[in-house]
Amino acid sequence: HKLGTFPFRGFVVQGSNGEFPFLTSSERLEVVSRVRQAMPKNRLLLAGSGCESTQATVEMTVSMAQVGADAAMVVTPCYYRGRMSSAALIHHYTKVADFSPIPVVLYSVPANTGLDLPVDAVVTLSQHPNIVGMKDSGGDVTRIGLIVHKTRKQDFQVLAGSAGFLMASYALGAVGGVCALANVLGAQVCQLERLCCTGQWEEAQKLQHRLIEPNAAVTRRFGIPGLKKIMDWFGYYGGPCRAPLQELSPAEEEALRMDFTSNGWL
Protein backbone atom coordinates (compact mmCIF):
# COMPACT_ATOMS: atom_id res chain seq x y z
CA HIS A 1 0.00 0.00 0.00
CA LYS A 2 2.88 2.34 0.82
CA LEU A 3 4.29 1.94 -2.70
CA GLY A 4 0.88 2.97 -4.06
CA THR A 5 1.49 6.53 -2.83
CA PHE A 6 4.24 7.19 -5.39
CA PRO A 7 3.36 8.41 -8.92
CA PHE A 8 4.32 5.11 -10.55
CA ARG A 9 2.53 4.23 -13.78
CA GLY A 10 2.21 0.71 -12.43
CA PHE A 11 3.92 -2.30 -10.92
CA VAL A 12 5.86 -5.27 -12.24
CA VAL A 13 5.28 -8.54 -10.40
CA GLN A 14 7.44 -11.62 -11.05
CA GLY A 15 10.24 -9.67 -12.68
CA SER A 16 13.86 -10.52 -11.85
CA ASN A 17 13.36 -9.51 -8.21
CA GLY A 18 10.20 -11.56 -7.75
CA GLU A 19 12.08 -14.86 -7.17
CA PHE A 20 9.82 -16.38 -9.84
CA PRO A 21 12.19 -19.27 -10.76
CA PHE A 22 11.75 -20.49 -7.15
CA LEU A 23 7.93 -20.37 -7.15
CA THR A 24 5.43 -22.98 -8.28
CA SER A 25 3.01 -22.01 -11.05
CA SER A 26 0.15 -21.62 -8.58
CA GLU A 27 2.30 -19.42 -6.31
CA ARG A 28 3.22 -17.20 -9.25
CA LEU A 29 -0.45 -16.67 -10.03
CA GLU A 30 -1.39 -16.11 -6.39
CA VAL A 31 1.23 -13.38 -6.00
CA VAL A 32 -0.14 -11.52 -9.04
CA SER A 33 -3.73 -11.96 -7.85
CA ARG A 34 -2.91 -10.54 -4.40
CA VAL A 35 -1.01 -7.58 -5.81
CA ARG A 36 -3.96 -6.80 -8.09
CA GLN A 37 -6.29 -6.72 -5.07
CA ALA A 38 -3.94 -4.56 -2.98
CA MET A 39 -2.88 -1.95 -5.56
CA PRO A 40 -4.71 1.19 -6.74
CA LYS A 41 -7.19 0.37 -9.51
CA ASN A 42 -5.83 3.04 -11.88
CA ARG A 43 -2.31 1.59 -12.08
CA LEU A 44 -1.02 -0.92 -14.60
CA LEU A 45 -0.02 -4.40 -13.47
CA LEU A 46 2.68 -6.08 -15.55
CA ALA A 47 3.20 -9.73 -14.72
CA GLY A 48 6.28 -11.76 -15.58
CA SER A 49 4.91 -14.82 -17.37
CA GLY A 50 8.06 -16.21 -18.99
CA CYS A 51 8.79 -19.94 -18.77
CA GLU A 52 11.37 -22.03 -20.60
CA SER A 53 9.02 -23.62 -23.14
CA THR A 54 6.76 -21.75 -25.53
CA GLN A 55 3.76 -23.89 -24.52
CA ALA A 56 4.26 -23.21 -20.79
CA THR A 57 4.73 -19.48 -21.46
CA VAL A 58 1.50 -19.32 -23.48
CA GLU A 59 -0.40 -21.07 -20.65
CA MET A 60 1.16 -18.89 -17.94
CA THR A 61 0.42 -15.70 -19.91
CA VAL A 62 -3.24 -16.64 -20.35
CA SER A 63 -3.45 -17.45 -16.61
CA MET A 64 -1.76 -14.17 -15.64
CA ALA A 65 -4.42 -12.30 -17.64
CA GLN A 66 -7.14 -14.23 -15.79
CA VAL A 67 -5.80 -13.16 -12.37
CA GLY A 68 -5.69 -9.50 -13.33
CA ALA A 69 -2.50 -8.67 -15.21
CA ASP A 70 -2.83 -5.80 -17.71
CA ALA A 71 0.24 -6.89 -19.69
CA ALA A 72 2.70 -9.77 -19.68
CA MET A 73 6.45 -9.25 -19.43
CA VAL A 74 8.15 -12.25 -21.01
CA VAL A 75 11.77 -13.01 -20.24
CA THR A 76 13.91 -14.74 -22.87
CA PRO A 77 14.01 -18.53 -22.45
CA CYS A 78 17.66 -19.35 -21.82
CA TYR A 79 18.32 -22.88 -20.56
CA TYR A 80 19.33 -23.93 -24.08
CA ARG A 81 20.82 -20.53 -24.81
CA GLY A 82 23.19 -21.94 -27.42
CA ARG A 83 20.16 -22.63 -29.62
CA MET A 84 18.26 -19.42 -28.83
CA SER A 85 18.89 -17.86 -32.25
CA SER A 86 16.92 -14.89 -33.51
CA ALA A 87 14.69 -17.32 -35.42
CA ALA A 88 13.95 -19.37 -32.28
CA LEU A 89 13.20 -16.27 -30.19
CA ILE A 90 11.05 -14.68 -32.91
CA HIS A 91 9.04 -17.90 -33.14
CA HIS A 92 8.68 -18.09 -29.34
CA TYR A 93 7.49 -14.51 -28.84
CA THR A 94 5.24 -14.56 -31.90
CA LYS A 95 3.40 -17.64 -30.59
CA VAL A 96 3.04 -16.13 -27.11
CA ALA A 97 1.78 -12.82 -28.50
CA ASP A 98 -0.64 -14.58 -30.87
CA PHE A 99 -2.31 -16.44 -28.00
CA SER A 100 -2.02 -13.79 -25.27
CA PRO A 101 -5.24 -11.96 -24.36
CA ILE A 102 -3.11 -9.06 -23.01
CA PRO A 103 -0.27 -7.04 -24.56
CA VAL A 104 3.23 -8.56 -24.40
CA VAL A 105 6.43 -6.80 -23.33
CA LEU A 106 9.76 -8.37 -24.34
CA TYR A 107 12.28 -8.74 -21.51
CA SER A 108 16.02 -9.00 -22.00
CA VAL A 109 18.10 -9.47 -18.81
CA PRO A 110 21.49 -10.89 -19.85
CA ALA A 111 22.93 -10.75 -16.29
CA ASN A 112 20.46 -13.50 -15.35
CA THR A 113 19.99 -15.35 -18.63
CA GLY A 114 23.38 -15.02 -20.32
CA LEU A 115 21.39 -14.03 -23.39
CA ASP A 116 20.78 -10.68 -25.11
CA LEU A 117 17.58 -10.58 -27.15
CA PRO A 118 19.15 -9.73 -30.56
CA VAL A 119 18.30 -6.31 -32.01
CA ASP A 120 17.14 -7.82 -35.31
CA ALA A 121 14.70 -10.05 -33.41
CA VAL A 122 13.38 -7.05 -31.44
CA VAL A 123 12.86 -5.10 -34.68
CA THR A 124 10.92 -7.98 -36.26
CA LEU A 125 8.84 -8.57 -33.11
CA SER A 126 8.03 -4.85 -32.74
CA GLN A 127 5.84 -5.24 -35.83
CA HIS A 128 3.52 -7.70 -34.05
CA PRO A 129 0.28 -5.90 -33.09
CA ASN A 130 0.24 -7.49 -29.61
CA ILE A 131 3.92 -6.81 -28.76
CA VAL A 132 3.93 -3.30 -27.32
CA GLY A 133 7.41 -2.79 -25.96
CA MET A 134 10.57 -4.04 -24.33
CA LYS A 135 12.35 -3.90 -21.02
CA ASP A 136 16.12 -3.96 -21.62
CA SER A 137 18.20 -4.57 -18.50
CA GLY A 138 21.54 -5.05 -20.26
CA GLY A 139 22.75 -1.50 -19.60
CA ASP A 140 24.18 -0.99 -23.07
CA VAL A 141 22.73 2.42 -23.93
CA THR A 142 23.97 2.36 -27.54
CA ARG A 143 21.85 -0.77 -27.99
CA ILE A 144 18.86 0.92 -26.35
CA GLY A 145 19.29 3.90 -28.67
CA LEU A 146 19.51 1.62 -31.69
CA ILE A 147 16.35 -0.27 -30.71
CA VAL A 148 14.46 3.03 -30.24
CA HIS A 149 15.72 4.18 -33.66
CA LYS A 150 14.91 0.96 -35.51
CA THR A 151 11.41 0.58 -33.99
CA ARG A 152 10.42 4.25 -34.31
CA LYS A 153 7.80 3.55 -37.02
CA GLN A 154 6.08 0.98 -34.76
CA ASP A 155 3.85 1.55 -31.74
CA PHE A 156 6.60 0.18 -29.51
CA GLN A 157 7.88 1.46 -26.17
CA VAL A 158 11.42 0.91 -24.93
CA LEU A 159 11.90 0.78 -21.15
CA ALA A 160 15.19 0.98 -19.25
CA GLY A 161 15.58 -2.11 -17.10
CA SER A 162 17.48 -0.47 -14.26
CA ALA A 163 17.80 2.89 -12.50
CA GLY A 164 21.57 3.07 -13.10
CA PHE A 165 21.14 4.02 -16.77
CA LEU A 166 17.68 5.59 -16.61
CA MET A 167 18.78 9.12 -17.54
CA ALA A 168 20.90 7.89 -20.45
CA SER A 169 17.96 5.81 -21.70
CA TYR A 170 15.58 8.79 -21.57
CA ALA A 171 18.16 10.88 -23.44
CA LEU A 172 18.14 8.25 -26.21
CA GLY A 173 14.37 8.01 -26.49
CA ALA A 174 13.27 5.39 -23.97
CA VAL A 175 9.88 6.27 -22.48
CA GLY A 176 10.17 4.74 -19.03
CA GLY A 177 11.89 2.32 -16.73
CA VAL A 178 11.27 -0.76 -14.65
CA CYS A 179 13.65 -0.29 -11.74
CA ALA A 180 14.44 -2.55 -8.78
CA LEU A 181 15.64 0.56 -6.92
CA ALA A 182 12.09 1.98 -7.02
CA ASN A 183 11.21 -0.60 -4.34
CA VAL A 184 13.10 1.61 -1.86
CA LEU A 185 13.81 4.96 -3.55
CA GLY A 186 10.51 5.29 -5.40
CA ALA A 187 10.20 9.05 -4.96
CA GLN A 188 13.73 9.61 -6.26
CA VAL A 189 13.28 7.41 -9.33
CA CYS A 190 10.03 9.27 -10.15
CA GLN A 191 11.84 12.58 -9.63
CA LEU A 192 14.59 11.52 -12.07
CA GLU A 193 11.90 10.69 -14.63
CA ARG A 194 10.31 14.13 -14.17
CA LEU A 195 13.64 15.93 -14.56
CA CYS A 196 14.44 14.04 -17.77
CA CYS A 197 10.99 14.54 -19.27
CA THR A 198 11.03 18.28 -18.56
CA GLY A 199 14.54 18.75 -19.95
CA GLN A 200 16.22 19.61 -16.62
CA TRP A 201 19.30 17.62 -17.58
CA GLU A 202 21.77 19.20 -15.12
CA GLU A 203 19.57 18.39 -12.13
CA ALA A 204 18.82 14.97 -13.61
CA GLN A 205 22.53 14.24 -13.91
CA LYS A 206 23.18 15.09 -10.24
CA LEU A 207 20.38 12.81 -9.10
CA GLN A 208 21.39 10.03 -11.51
CA HIS A 209 24.95 10.08 -10.15
CA ARG A 210 23.66 9.55 -6.60
CA LEU A 211 21.52 6.58 -7.67
CA ILE A 212 24.21 4.56 -9.47
CA GLU A 213 25.86 2.96 -6.41
CA PRO A 214 22.66 2.16 -4.49
CA ASN A 215 21.18 0.72 -7.68
CA ALA A 216 24.21 -1.50 -8.31
CA ALA A 217 24.03 -2.65 -4.69
CA VAL A 218 20.46 -3.97 -4.98
CA THR A 219 21.00 -5.49 -8.43
CA ARG A 220 24.40 -6.75 -9.59
CA ARG A 221 26.24 -6.58 -6.27
CA PHE A 222 23.94 -8.06 -3.61
CA GLY A 223 20.91 -9.01 -5.68
CA ILE A 224 17.61 -10.05 -4.09
CA PRO A 225 19.01 -10.51 -0.54
CA GLY A 226 20.35 -6.94 -0.75
CA LEU A 227 17.08 -5.53 -2.06
CA LYS A 228 15.05 -7.31 0.63
CA LYS A 229 17.39 -6.13 3.39
CA ILE A 230 17.28 -2.49 2.29
CA MET A 231 13.47 -2.68 2.00
CA ASP A 232 13.36 -3.77 5.66
CA TRP A 233 15.63 -0.84 6.60
CA PHE A 234 13.41 1.64 4.76
CA GLY A 235 10.28 0.45 6.55
CA TYR A 236 8.88 -1.75 3.80
CA TYR A 237 8.59 -5.51 4.00
CA GLY A 238 11.52 -7.27 2.36
CA GLY A 239 11.36 -10.48 4.33
CA PRO A 240 13.36 -13.68 3.98
CA CYS A 241 14.72 -15.06 0.71
CA ARG A 242 13.68 -18.43 -0.65
CA ALA A 243 16.45 -21.05 -0.69
CA PRO A 244 18.92 -21.49 -2.25
CA LEU A 245 19.32 -17.69 -1.93
CA GLN A 246 21.10 -16.83 1.31
CA GLU A 247 20.81 -13.78 3.56
CA LEU A 248 23.64 -11.22 3.45
CA SER A 249 26.65 -11.68 5.72
CA PRO A 250 27.35 -8.91 8.30
CA ALA A 251 30.19 -7.61 6.07
CA GLU A 252 27.84 -7.49 3.06
CA GLU A 253 25.21 -5.67 5.12
CA GLU A 254 27.81 -3.07 6.07
CA ALA A 255 28.84 -2.59 2.43
CA LEU A 256 25.17 -2.30 1.40
CA ARG A 257 24.61 0.36 4.07
CA MET A 258 27.64 2.30 2.85
CA ASP A 259 26.36 2.41 -0.74
CA PHE A 260 23.23 4.17 0.53
CA THR A 261 24.74 6.39 3.27
CA SER A 262 27.62 7.66 1.10
CA ASN A 263 25.05 8.93 -1.42
CA GLY A 264 22.87 10.53 1.27
CA TRP A 265 19.93 8.12 1.26
CA LEU A 266 20.28 6.50 4.70
**Known binding-site positions:** 178
Among this protein's residues, is 95 annotated catalytic?
Answer: no
Strand order through the sheet with 131-136: 10-13, 44-48, 71-75, 104-108, 131-136, 157-160, 176-177
Q: How far apart are CA 167 and CA 65, in angstroms?
A: 32
The DSSP annotation for 181-215 comes to: GGGT-HHHHHHHHHHHHTT-HHHHHHHHHHHHHHH
Residues 6+ apart with CB under 8 A from 190: 6, 7, 8, 182
Residues with Cβ within 8 Å of 175's Cβ and at least 6 positions away in sequence, in order, are 157, 158, 159
The amino acid that residue 244 corresponds to is: P
Q: Do residues 43 and 8 touch, judged by C-beta distance below 8 A?
A: yes
Catalytic residue among 41, 80, 95, 107: 107
Catalytic residue among 2, 95, 135, 236: 135
The C-alpha R_g of the chain, in whole angstroms, comes to 18
Q: Is cis: bond before 244, omega within 30 of 0? A: yes
229 has catalytic annotation: no
Largest CA distance in the chain: 51
Cβ count within 10 A of residue 163:
27
Task: Extract the annotated binding site for pyruvate.
Answer: 178
Which residues belong to the active site?
Answer: 107, 135
